Amino acid sequence: MNLNNIITEIEKTDPEVYGRLSGRRQAMKNFANLSGKIALSSLPIALGTMFQKAYGKSTDIITDVLNFALTLEYLEKEFYDDGLASVGLIPAGADRTAFENIRLHETEHVQFLRDTIVALGGTPVMKPTFDFTAGNGSMTGPFTGVFSNYDLFLAVSQTLEDTGVRAYKGQAGNLISSNEVLTAALRIHSVEARHASHVREIRSRKPSAFVVGIPDPWITLNQSNVASPLVQPNYNGEELLTQAGVNIVGINGFNITADDASEAFDEPLTKEQILAIVDPFIV
Amino acid sequence: MPNKTAIKLDEGVSEKTFFSQVSRRRFLNYAGLTAGAMVFASSCKKDLRGGESASDFAHEDPHNKPKNTVNLGSGDIGVLNYAYALEQLEAAFYAQVNQTPYAGISGKEADYLQDIRQHEIAHREFLKNVLGDKAIGTLLLDFSSINFSSRDSVLATAKAFEDVGVSAYNGAGQLLQSPDYLLYAGKIVSVEARHAACLRDLISYGSFADSTAVNSMGLDLVRTPTEVLAIASTYIKTKIIANNLPTS
């Protein structure tokens, strides 16, 4: 975990992050003081606390969440814009129709989030510049060829959709004070899950070097079904087998396996986890 | 063959628990005296419970007798009981689907429908355990309008249940006070949406998120408990009192 990278990423969506953290130098100093006193394993908690201090008291917490979501929707929309514009990438017929439908939804989400942020008195963040090779702007990252190799495109699409579900889920609690915004976010969240289900279905019907096993529409344990270790952080944590302290495996005498238990519940990721995951895609 | 029998949904009592609650002698009495119920038991077998370790006779536990009326209650408990009622409906439906697969079911369809049954059982039992002694009892269900031998009937019903489930959870989120419960609802609803998209694709490939599911702002279905329970009442014979649920 590189704190500098994380703060740099947040700065892209929230230019005022240093102000919130009492300035970059002070933030670093605070963190240095903190990190000298705590065990390495507690670092994520310490980081969370630091950001909670920066964001938790903000009256703009809802627009912050919406701007975070907007950044992810920009990412998805542009990914599908580029994919659909790449001649010969997406086969005509059912596949192309499906991705046009998904692209339409992502475009609508961008518009909806921008409108909602403005309505709440906030300012929508600008669209970042993206590098879908996951090369941080080098355009020669590990996913080079994502817009010429359909199997790679599908793998990245599935990962983006599954990750989008996790991102929205992780923010629901931050929206609990606004019925309207929470409900809208939930309604976007389930659309992303529908997309993920379909892209996984496409991949289940199209074996390739990029497909591991046969993807189901749902996520089994922390299996990505993608032949790249780079996407593993996007799936880590999905293997959770207990919920609210209740062991789901074999619950109440039913023959619920670990696979079943993990599939039955999708797991959230925090904003910080998501920003670290999408970092390579943002120039 | 259409199932004309009102399905009594049995509850989550393991064999071990069952035998600890009902003595062997009483068990034999049940077995000998409740001939009508035995027909029911033999027609439902293990799959209705989705687990090999489950007792065929657990539904004979008097604690699990379907209720004529249940009151969901108020506050977060009421909302969780609302979800529990819907998961009871879904789990029992898929149990029957797996018990009596429709003609011509493909291997892929059978796999998906079995997975979905397992997920719905997990949801139902999770909610039951979270609710503890606040849980509504077992609902009396009626699947007589469903033709379980027909692919079209089964998949259309499954799709409807999943879309309704998505809309129900999407509408229920704002009714919850606890961020923890909200998160658990969120963990479940996206799985219901994966089911909905999967079933839609089985019925008509590519309809996973068509305009009957997603509106022109890119937003999924949403319904109030009143709307959802009106739809579900076709399949739920137990009277569900929901007037103490939060409204915002």
Q: What's the sign of the alpha-carbon dihedral A174, A180, A185, A186?
A: positive
Q: Which of B16, B188, B219 to mutate to test the interface with A (most CBs of A within 10 A)?
A: B219
Largest CA distance in chain B: 63
- Asked if B115 lies within 8 A of A109 by C-beta distance, the reply is no
- Asked if A201 lies within 8 A of B248 by C-beta distance, the reply is no
Number of domains within chain A: 1
- Asked if A107 lies within 8 A of B218 by C-beta distance, the reply is yes
CA distance B167 to B174: 12
What is the span of the domain harbouring residue A128?
3-281
B126 and A CB contact within 8 Å: yes
B159 and A CB contact within 8 Å: no
Please write the tens of the pLDDT for every residue from B185-206: 999 999 999 999 999 999 999 9
Query: At B43, which helix (H) or strand (E)?
Result: helix B35-44
CA distance B34 to B54: 20
- Asked if A186 lies within 8 A of B214 by C-beta distance, the reply is no
Pick from A105, A198, A260: which is nearest to B122 by CB?
A260
Q: What's the sign of the alpha-carbon dihedral A191, A193, A198, A203?
A: positive
pLDDT confidence bin for A206, thresholds 50/70/90: very high
Q: Which of residues 7-66 of B touch A (CB under 8 A)?
A: 12-17, 49-55
If you average pLDDT over residues B208-217, what whole number do you get? 98
A188 and B CB contact within 8 Å: yes
Report whether pLDDT(A184) > 90. Answer: yes
Please write the tens of the pLDDT for every residue from A215-250: 999 999 999 999 999 999 999 999 999 999 999 999
C-alpha R_g of chain A? 19
Q: Which of A274, A78, A44, A263 is nearest to A159 (CA)?
A: A274
Please write the tens of the pLDDT for every residue from B36-92: 332 232 233 333 433 333 333 344 455 678 889 999 999 999 999 999 999 999 999
- Residue B5 resides in a domain: no
* Cα–Cα distance list, A161 to A198, A208, A234, B75 (Å): 10, 20, 10, 33
CA distance A173 to B187: 12
- pLDDT score at A9: 57
Pick from B130, B171, B196: which is nearest to A246 by CB?
B130
| Pairing label, strands B69-71, A242-243 | unpaired
Residues from chain B that touch A223, judged by Cβ atoms under 8 A, are none
- Asked if A190 lies within 8 A of B220 by C-beta distance, the reply is yes
CA distance A146 to A252: 46
- Residue B3 resides in a domain: no
CA distance B208 to B202: 9
Residues from chain B that touch A169, judged by Cβ atoms under 8 A, are 183, 186-187, 190
- pLDDT score at A266: 98
B131 and A CB contact within 8 Å: no
Please write the tens of the pLDDT for every residue from B226-240: 999 999 999 999 999
A191 and B CB contact within 8 Å: yes
Q: Which amino acid is present at B170?
A: N
- pLDDT score at A173: 97
Please write the tens of the pLDDT for every residue from B110-153: 999 999 999 999 999 999 999 999 999 999 999 999 999 999 99
Please write the tens of the pLDDT for every residue from A1-57: 344 455 555 555 555 554 454 444 444 444 444 344 444 444 444 444 444 444 443
Report whether pLDDT(B224) > 50. Answer: yes
ipTM: 0.81
Number of domains within chain B: 1
The predicted model scores a pTM of 0.80
What is the span of the domain harbouring residue B96?
15-241
Pick from A106, A169, A257: which is nearest to B187 by CB?
A169
- pLDDT score at B181: 98
Please, which residues have CB within 8 angstroms of residue B197's CB and are 6 or more apart in sequence?
A193, A194, A195, A197, A198, A201, A217, B208, B209
Average pLDDT over all residues of chain B:
82
A52 and B CB contact within 8 Å: no
- pLDDT score at A37: 40
